[in-house]
Amino acid sequence: MAKRPLLSLFTAFVLGLGAQAAQADVLVFAAASTNEALTEAAAAFKQETGIPVITSFGSSSTLAKQIEQGAPAQVFLSANVEWAEYLEKANTLKPGGRVDYLGNALVLVAPVGTAAVDLEKTPITGLLQGGRLAVGDPDHVPAGQYAKKALTALKQWDALEPQLARASDVRGALALVQRGEAPYGIVYSTDAASLKDVAIVATFPADSHPKIVYPLALTKAADGDADRFAAFLQQGRIRAIFARYGFRAP
């Protein structure tokens, strides 16, 4: 079967979302790590207002580039500040429509039952025993970028770089550990909390990487309903939903 050109695939993707957005007033692009919490918040918004919300989850970098290329997202929830700034420079965000919304922690995970690790005393490469370390691809995934900075600060990056299993987003890295395809992985604490068979064995020191901040931003495609949804997310009772999934204040 002949392969469809990438541009055609993207065009079909955008048109498909546009057709859905015509039926639902709010289209949200959000970091994969926010899936469960944002889905619950969106359901609460629909129940209260009657306005449906379409959510599309993935790597912040991929979503930001799709918005830049014309995907009709009205709200963007990024896993780091850099991709929100990228869209600001591309002139695709609504002026004054951005706020630092969530915080998170970076952790080392492994199957349940794995012993705790002292990251400042134990090289991760010695724990892998020929396996690989699962991470979001540090070339573009925020969780992977935080991981690279943390490992560099701990003087472990050079040894570990050849042993990385690079995933397309942070949930992909978590899945590699869950399926036993990687003995350890680096994800956000909220991702680890979403699974019962994967455990946190260490938390990276806060000073080993930049503070993890999730900006919430309105794009220039945002209408009144999107404004309303963004304001809804900032209510204390809705922030409590995210706190229940392990997110922190930014």
- What CATH number is associated with residue 37? 3.40.190.10
**Same domain as 111, residue 99:** no
**Same domain as 85, residue 23:** yes
Query: pLDDT tens, 102-118?
Result: 999 999 999 999 999 99
Ranges of residues in the chain with a pLDDT under 70 are 1-24
Say what the pLDDT of residue 178 is.
Answer: 96
The CA–CA distances, whole Å, from 89 to 2, 68, 92, 96, 130 equal 37, 10, 8, 14, 43
**Same domain as 91, residue 67:** yes
- Structural domains in the chain (count): 2
**Same domain as 128, residue 81:** no
**Same domain as 194, residue 142:** yes
The three-state secondary structure class of 21 is helix
The answer to whether the beta carbons of residues 76 and 87 sit under 8 Å apart is yes
Query: pLDDT tens, 32-43?
Result: 999 999 999 999
Contacts of 236 (CB under 8 A, 6+ apart): none
Say what the pLDDT of residue 24 is.
Answer: 52
